[in-house]
């Protein structure tokens, strides 16, 4: 049983290869590379073909690209040849962006059948189900006997072409997907029967397969997995022909990546630029977001600038004003995080938008009142001025209300226009809470205090 | 094949029950409930026992609790009886918090065997593997023939006790888990053999099972699933006895929940309090976080207060100071989101902490310099004062540097002390960036301009 094992010694790693999962080999290589790049390449080149590919896939992108440079075309071709079709396609595509020449030579070195599959899989967009599927699966013709299909399964497994099999997909002569029988059901049926015979003995819905279209969005596929507790879905394409399958381990990765993306978007970070060895590229991408925020901040400062005489007259205002803006920003962020996440999980629908906004506004008024009182008293005591307490109290209610209202509305409006709510919500909201915060506070101060 | 179907008409829903997945029935009920609570209860009571339990599980918590009130003890007992052991335990535990009397009566109405299993599963903490496992699995004794075990499988499936079976777990007479054979391997072996014979014919590692301990943290189990692309793990307990199994669909849910939790923690929101029908409870929990932030904001204002004469002398400072604090806050949030997420995914280890901090500091200095120049020029032009541009420029570099440094260090330090980095990082960081922002700006202004 694979343990969580990381081996930092190159020679020891090579000895233990047989007992380690590719994931652990990759993690060990990561550690080795930090100490010595030479050792890293040394071990890499000695990896047997049948695991080299899998290990490459588990390495972080920067190390994988180093490996592309160091390994020979022969070695890479052998390694890619051993992989399943979806992984082959991923590596070839990545290689093409990195070193087009090398990618072509490796592609040319593969079997014609593999080449055809890669060509096909490459036609899919990054977010389509087709780009996540593998073409390797256990299928059988309606008129085949179970025994005959199991013989093919035995062969396929012996050739390491089939693994992770949980069901047989039954197709007709046009390769159209008819049914799917789980192995747990198949194993207790008489093997001498043909699949057509088996299907005729049961209700037509008994072996209905879970199916997605090859052009479906992978996020919708992931939602189906979660909703129906699936392990595998069949992927069909043109005229419902069986193209491939997607397994739950791929979906696990999709879900993690989506979660990371959402979290990053709320903070103004782009996951695609965060793994660069090139820190300049990362800094540049973050700078774009910071630039937007700078614009927001300057807008807010322009608003403060309108009240320069007010502040001059009463400097306590300059001391207290960041508090109101800050509280608005924090409350707004709470609302935003909840709205964006619940929208993404499909727990809020646009038709119930009004309920969602209403809920956030009520919470906002609760807390607005609470902190209006708290801060009102603090300001009153701090500066010995009752009206200042009133000003900051009123301003707090106004700002927290608008934080709740816009924090809920902005994501819903963006979603309505089919824009990803996570992107841009934060900037728009901060603009609102800062401007409302400073304006309400200083205007109320001008009117009430002066 | 289940489609994404939501039926809003109660009578039509009841007609279509056979063709709908419990998840879709639950979603339809959610819609029906929004229009008429009576219709909701009407349909609920008419659901057949074998799906009532599954539908209840798919409902949101508040509706499920309403159902607990409305349904009779007999109905609930029948429904719970049909569920698998982990789901039975979840419902009983939830019911106990809601209506202890009713929970007891339902528990008493279950079979003794189910009661024993529920008692056992209840002993596990919420975050332990044991609380996620189901005791239903396909196991066989070493000395059993494959044929005999398959007969038991047939019976188990006929009684609806076994489903989602992908392998057979082989145990010895002490119920200790010895091996696990996937159905894809089992189906092509001679059924007349005993399991002991089969195992003796292969290398001892060939059928090594993936195993976790019942007391393992479920997050570690989830990481194993992701790392090794698993479908199922066996759960063992005392003396490696086979206790149950965890399937990938449960792990999908765990991963989604963890992601939601992280995102919320960064924003100061607690997921456990966000689904309340009781908005007051939600508002109160959010208020606790806002209170912390208020404290931070007041601290920052105290810092501003030190420089009240400086501001009085040059009001442009009051207009510009929020910009520096705001940029620091935004840059710090970027760093924080990346650090917290990468730590959670296990991509950063504490021993490489220094590299991570170094990387963030370099990015911070890049952007610090960039925005120092941009804002310096803007301030110079806006207020026609070159030195003001210098002040804000220097302050920007200082604040962005500290945002990057502390944004990276704080999560690492919290992690080192085994505190969840997501909680509290934001507050600590905002404290730093606000105070450093205001202090550096106003102090430099005092020294350079006045």
Judge whether B336 and B429 are in contact, CB under 8 Å: yes
Residue B107: name the closest of B129, B122, B128 by CA: B122
Judge whether A326 and B297 are in contact, CB under 8 Å: yes
Whats the size of chain A, residue-wise? 450
Residues B279 and B197: their CA atoms lie apart, in Å, by 62
Residue in B with minimal Cα distance to A431: B326
Residue B290: name the closest of A170, A435, A332 by CA: A332
| pTM across the whole model | 0.85
Residues of chain A with C-beta less than 8 angstroms from the C-beta of B311 = 311, 315, 318-319
pLDDT exceeds 90 at position A353? no
Residue A243: name the closest of A216, A266, A264, A208 by CA: A216
* Average predicted confidence (pLDDT) for chain B: 91
Q: Which pLDDT does position B46 carry in this prediction?
A: 92
Residue B9's SS3 state is coil
Residue A140's SS3 state is strand
CB atoms within 10 A of CB B4: 13
pLDDT exceeds 90 at position A354? no
User: Residue A42, exposed/middle/buried by CB under 10 A (0-12, 13-18, 19+)?
Assistant: middle
In this prediction, residue B1 has a pLDDT band, given cuts at 50, 70 and 90, of very low
Residue A433: name the closest of A364, A343, A382, A363 by CA: A364
DSSP state of B144: S
User: In a mutagenesis test of the A interface, which of B24, B137, B260, B266 is the best target, namely the one with the most A β-carbons within 10 Å?
Assistant: B260
Q: Closest approach of chain A CAs to the CA of B338, in angstroms?
A: 7
Q: Closest approach of chain B CAs to the CA of A113, in angstroms?
A: 25
Residues of chain B with C-beta less than 8 angstroms from the C-beta of A255 = 252, 255-256, 259
Question: Across residues B144-162, what is the average pLDDT?
Answer: 92
Q: Closest approach of chain A CAs to the CA of B262, in angstroms?
A: 8
Q: Which pLDDT does position A2 carry in this prediction?
A: 43
Judge whether A176 and A243 are in contact, CB under 8 Å: no
Question: Across residues A137-160, what is the average pLDDT?
Answer: 93
What percent of chain B shows pLDDT beyond 90? Answer: 66
pLDDT exceeds 90 at position A291? yes
Residues B232-258: tens digit of each pLDDT? 999 999 888 999 999 999 999 899 999
User: In a mutagenesis test of the B interface, which of A32, A187, A242 is the best target, namely the one with the most B β-carbons within 10 Å?
Assistant: A187
Helix axes A353-383, A386-416, angle to 10 degrees: 160
Tokens coding A108: 């040319």
Judge whether A409 and A350 are in contact, CB under 8 Å: no
Residue B322: name the closest of B246, B395, B424 by CA: B395
Residues of chain A with C-beta less than 8 angstroms from the C-beta of B305 = 319
Residue A236's SS3 state is strand
Q: Which of A184, A249, A267 sits opposite B337 (nearest CB)?
A: A267
Angle at B168 between CA B207 and CA B219, to 5 degrees: 80
B378 and A298 within 8 Å at the Cβ level: the answer is: yes
Residues B25 and B2: their CA atoms lie apart, in Å, by 11
What percent of chain B shows pLDDT beyond 70? Answer: 99
Q: Which pLDDT does position A364 carry in this prediction?
A: 95
- Complex ipTM: 0.85
Longest dimension (CA), chain B: 96
Q: Which pLDDT does position B4 carry in this prediction?
A: 60
Residue A8's SS3 state is coil
Q: Which pLDDT does position A4 carry in this prediction?
A: 60
pLDDT exceeds 80 at position A224? yes
Residues of chain B with C-beta less than 8 angstroms from the C-beta of A345 = 256, 260
Helix axes A248-267, A218-228, angle to 10 degrees: 120
Tokens coding B439: 């202090």
Domains and CATH numbers, chain A: 10-122 (1.25.60.10), 139-265 (3.10.580.10), 279-449 (1.10.357.20)
Residues of chain A with C-beta less than 8 angstroms from the C-beta of B334 = 267-269, 286, 289-290
In this prediction, residue B352 has a pLDDT band, given cuts at 50, 70 and 90, of confident
pLDDT exceeds 60 at position A372? yes
Question: Across residues B146-169, what is the average pLDDT?
Answer: 92
Rg (CA), chain A: 30
């Amino acid at each position: 049983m694979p343990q969580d094992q990381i081996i930092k010694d190159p020679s020891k790693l090579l000895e233990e290869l047989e007992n380690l999962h590719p994931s652990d080999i990759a993690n060990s290589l990561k550690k080795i590379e930090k100490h010595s790049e030479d050792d890293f390449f040394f071990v890499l080149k000695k990896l047997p073909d049948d695991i080299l590919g899998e290990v490459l896939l588990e390495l972080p992108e920067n190390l994988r690209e180093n490996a592309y440079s160091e390994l020979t075309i022969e070695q890479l071709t052998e390694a890619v040849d051993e992989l399943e079709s979806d992984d082959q396609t991923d590596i070839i595509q990545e290689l093409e962006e990195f070193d087009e020449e090398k990618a072509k030579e490796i592609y040319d070195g593969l079997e014609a059948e593999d080449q055809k599959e890669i060509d096909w899989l490459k036609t899919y967009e990054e977010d389509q189900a087709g780009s996540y599927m593998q073409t390797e699966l256990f299928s059988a013709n309606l008129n085949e006997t179970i025994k005959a299909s199991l013989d093919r399964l035995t062969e396929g497994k012996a050739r390491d072409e089939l693994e992770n099999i949980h069901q047989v997909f039954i197709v007709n002569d046009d390769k159209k997907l008819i049914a799917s029988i789980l192995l747990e059901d198949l194993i207790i049926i008489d093997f001498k029967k043909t699949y057509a015979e088996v299907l005729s003995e049961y209700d037509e819905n008994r072996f209905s397969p879970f199916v997605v279209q090859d052009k479906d969005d992978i996020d919708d596929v992931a939602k189906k997995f979660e909703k129906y507790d699936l392990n595998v879905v069949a992927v069909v394409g043109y005229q419902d022909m069986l193209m491939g399958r997607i397994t739950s381990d791929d979906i696990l990765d999709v879900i993690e990546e989506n979660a990371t993306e959402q979290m990053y978007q709320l903070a103004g970070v782009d996951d695609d630029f965060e793994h660069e060895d090139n820190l300049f590229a990362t800094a540049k991408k973050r700078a774009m977001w910071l630039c937007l925020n700078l614009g927001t901040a300057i807008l807010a400062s322009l608003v403060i600038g309108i009240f320069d005489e007010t502040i001059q007259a009463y400097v306590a205002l300059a001391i207290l004003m960041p508090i109101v803006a800050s509280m608005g920003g924090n409350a707004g962020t709470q609302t935003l995080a909840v709205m964006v996440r619940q929208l993404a999980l499909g727990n809020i629908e646009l038709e119930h938008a009004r309920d969602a906004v209403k809920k956030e506004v009520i919470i906002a008024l609760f807390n607005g009142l609470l902190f209006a009182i708290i801060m009102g008293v603090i300001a009153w005591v701090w500066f010995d001025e009752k009206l200042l307490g009133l000003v900051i109290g009123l301003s707090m209610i106004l700002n927290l209300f608008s934080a709740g209202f816009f924090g809920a509305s902005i994501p819903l409006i963006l979603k309505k226009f089919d824009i990803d709510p996570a992107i841009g919500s934060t900037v728009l909201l901060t603009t609102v809470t800062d401007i409302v915060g400073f304006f309400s506070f200083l205007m109320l101060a001008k009117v009430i205090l002066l």
